[in-house]
């Protein structure tokens, strides 16, 4: 389990638009030996092959460091139609052989955030590895396939498009923390200021969780954090400079310890995906602690472990609950009585939790009926 090393990155004062707060991240020195650029796919569905039996399908509006061709692009019907003629509306498909794939000798194409989401979807994807009597034949044969999660594109997050359009990009800015209703929605870090200027607009095409969508919809405007100097300490220009400096240092401390602590203080299971010379591309999942912030994401670090690239996605409470239950079941060999005893609840209560988390189809129907009946008698 690991945390992030954000050495060389510092925060600047936040900018507020309604319920959206953007906190710029500025590098002391830009990274020159690793660069990112965007490839825009447009309104299309992406299909990535995970292995010979498993595919990952998602709306994929853009990729990083990629090549593609429009010649002979396949198309699929948009919606459902019964017709002898050609479908009236077509939605293009893009096929990606992997989430991360070498484009040439020194270029790697990967699908930002989808690399992380696929890692979350693959969590204990194979399902029960012991055929206990409670699990359905579907769970034994197919595991968690198909595994489906929902997210919202940034254009649906109220206020985000305007915030990204009107906010100032700072000199040296290499990243941003996106807050909605002062809840951390996403962190985005790139190696170089030129990369950030190019990739800043892609934040509106990124995926955001249900919690963030709801917060944007219902949250009132968030307050500005205004600087207040202690006039009693200011008797000269030197005092004014010192007081201003104290305020400059106070904001980063407050941000890191109060606003971003849920991301920065957590520990993560980090898995390597690709090695690129002195840099390593990884994806990570959290410890799935219920009623806490939980972020998944992807990361590029240098040989010293310092962050060159970071993109995160905040999970909803339901998504956290699914991850927590899957980890708990796997840690107890998928045995429901043992798992229930480990957290001090009854088998029936655990079964109903599994159902409430959207995993009820894994349990045999008559077993789930017994769980419901047992809970009603209590």
Could you tell me what percent of the chain has a pLDDT over 90?
Answer: 47
Q: What is the pLDDT of residues 221-268, one digit of tens each?
A: 999 887 777 777 788 888 888 888 887 778 888 888 889 999 999 999
Tell me what pLDDT residue 293 has.
95
Highest-pLDDT range among 111-125, 126-140, 230-244, 330-344: 330-344
- Total domain count, the chain: 2
Beta-carbon contacts of residue 46 (< 8 Å; ≥ 6 apart): 57, 58, 59, 60, 93, 94, 95, 96, 111, 114
pLDDT higher than threshold 50 for residue 360? yes
Least confident of 14-28, 109-123, 132-146, 302-316: 109-123
Tell me what pLDDT residue 104 has.
56
- For the segment 209-221, the average pLDDT, to the nearest whole number, is 93
- For the segment 83-101, the average pLDDT, to the nearest whole number, is 46
Q: Is residue 2 part of a domain?
A: yes
Pair (368, 285) in one structural domain: no
Pair (361, 285) in one structural domain: no
| Structure-block tokens of residue 274 | 């690709």
For residue 143, name the pLDDT band (cuts at 50, 70, 90). Answer: confident
Pair (236, 183) in one structural domain: yes
The DSSP bridge pattern shows strands 45-49 and 90-96 to be parallel
For residue 110, name the pLDDT band (cuts at 50, 70, 90). Answer: low
Pair (267, 344) in one structural domain: no
Tell me what pLDDT residue 69 has.
24
Could you tell me what percent of the chain has a pLDDT over 70?
Answer: 80
Q: What is the pLDDT of residues 296-346, one digit of tens each?
A: 999 999 888 899 999 999 999 999 999 999 999 999 999 999 999 999 999
Tell me what pLDDT residue 52 has.
54
pLDDT higher than threshold 50 for residue 140? yes
Pair (55, 119) in one structural domain: yes
pLDDT higher than threshold 60 for residue 181? yes
Query: Buried b / exposed e across 97-112, counting CB within 10 Å, b at 16+?
Result: ebbbeeeeeeebbbbb
Tell me what pLDDT residue 80 has.
37
Least confident of 64-73, 107-116, 218-227: 64-73
Q: Is residue 246 part of a domain?
A: yes
Pair (349, 260) in one structural domain: no
Tell me what pLDDT residue 121 has.
86
Pair (120, 265) in one structural domain: yes
Q: Is residue 330 part of a domain?
A: no
Tell me what pLDDT residue 100 has.
53
Tell me what pLDDT residue 109 has.
65
Phi, psi angles (nearest 5°) of residue 217: -75, -40
Q: Is residue 83 part of a domain?
A: no
Tell me what pLDDT residue 63 has.
52
What gap in Å lies between CA 212 and CA 183, rounded to an integer? 8
pLDDT higher than threshold 90 for residue 26? yes
Pair (237, 353) in one structural domain: no
Tell me what pLDDT residue 224 has.
86
Pair (276, 368) in one structural domain: no
Beta-carbon contacts of residue 109 (< 8 Å; ≥ 6 apart): 39, 63, 64, 65, 66, 67, 96, 100, 101, 102, 103
What gap in Å lies between CA 65 and CA 46, rounded to an integer? 16
Kindly list the distances between the CA atom of residue 212 and the CA atoms of 129, 160, 190, 284, 316, in Å, as whole numbers in the listed order: 35, 11, 23, 20, 8
Tell me what pLDDT residue 196 has.
93
DSSP per residue, 72-116: T--EEESS----SS--SSEEEEEEES-SEEEEETTEEEE-TTHHH
Which residue reads 């359905």 in tokens? Answer: 136
Pair (63, 209) in one structural domain: yes
pLDDT higher than threshold 80 for residue 89? no
- For the segment 184-207, the average pLDDT, to the nearest whole number, is 92
pLDDT higher than threshold 50 for residue 46? no
Least confident of 65-69, 119-123, 325-329, 355-359: 65-69
| Structure-block tokens of residue 251 | 């904001």
Q: Is residue 20 part of a domain?
A: yes
Q: Is residue 84 part of a domain?
A: no
Kindly list the distances between the CA atom of residue 359 and the CA atoms of 126, 244, 319, 368, 376, in Å, as whole numbers in the listed order: 13, 54, 11, 11, 20
What gap in Å lies between CA 232 and CA 239, rounded to an integer? 10
- Note down the domain range covering 347: 335-377
Asked if 154 and 162 touch (Cβ cutoff 8 Å), the reply is no
For residue 39, name the pLDDT band (cuts at 50, 70, 90). Answer: low
Q: Is residue 78 part of a domain?
A: no
Q: Is residue 132 part of a domain?
A: yes
Pair (238, 369) in one structural domain: no
Pair (305, 369) in one structural domain: no
């Amino acid at each position: 389990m690991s945390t992030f090393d954000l050495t060389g990155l510092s925060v600047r004062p936040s900018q507020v638009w309604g319920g959206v707060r953007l906190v710029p991240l500025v590098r002391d020195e830009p990274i020159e030996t690793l660069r990112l650029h965007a490839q825009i796919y447009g309104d299309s569905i992406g299909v990535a092959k995970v292995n010979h039996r498993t595919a990952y399908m998602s709306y994929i509006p853009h990729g990083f460091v990629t090549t593609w061709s429009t010649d002979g692009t396949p198309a699929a019907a948009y919606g459902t139609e019964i017709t002898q003629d050609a479908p009236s509306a077509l939605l293009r498909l893009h096929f990606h052989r992997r989430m991360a794939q070498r484009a040439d000798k020194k270029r790697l194409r990967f699908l930002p955030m989808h690399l992380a989401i696929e890692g979350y979807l693959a969590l204990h994807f194979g399902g029960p590895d012991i055929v206990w009597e409670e699990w359905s034949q579907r769970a034994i044969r197919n595991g968690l396939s198909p595994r489906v999660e929902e997210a919202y594109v940034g254009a649906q997050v109220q206020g985000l498009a305007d915030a990204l359009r009107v906010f100032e990009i700072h000199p040296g800015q290499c990243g941003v923390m996106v807050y909605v209703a002062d809840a951390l929605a996403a962190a985005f870090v790139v190696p170089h200021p030129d990369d950030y200027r190019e990739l800043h607009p892609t934040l509106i095409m990124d995926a955001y969780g249900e919690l963030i969508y709801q917060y944007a919809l219902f949250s009132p405007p968030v307050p500005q954090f205004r600087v207040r100097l202690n006039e009693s300490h200011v008797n000269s220009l030197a005092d004014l400079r010192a007081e201003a400096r104290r305020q400059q240092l106070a904001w980063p401390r407050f941000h890191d310890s109060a606003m971003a602590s849920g991301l920065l203080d957590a520990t993560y299971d980090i898995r390597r995906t690709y090695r690129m010379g002195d840099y390593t591309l990884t994806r990570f999942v959290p410890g799935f602690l219920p009623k806490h912030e939980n972020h998944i994401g992807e990361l590029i670090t240098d040989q010293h472990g310092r962050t060159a690239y970071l993109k995160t996605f905040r999970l909803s409470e339901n998504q956290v609950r699914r991850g927590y239950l899957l980890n708990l079941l796997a840690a107890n060999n998928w045995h429901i009585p043992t798992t229930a005893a480990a957290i001090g609840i009854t088998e029936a209560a655990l079964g109903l939790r599994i159902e409430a988390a959207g995993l009820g189809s894994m349990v045999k129907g008559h077993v789930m009926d017994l769980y419901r009946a047992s809970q009603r008698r209590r």
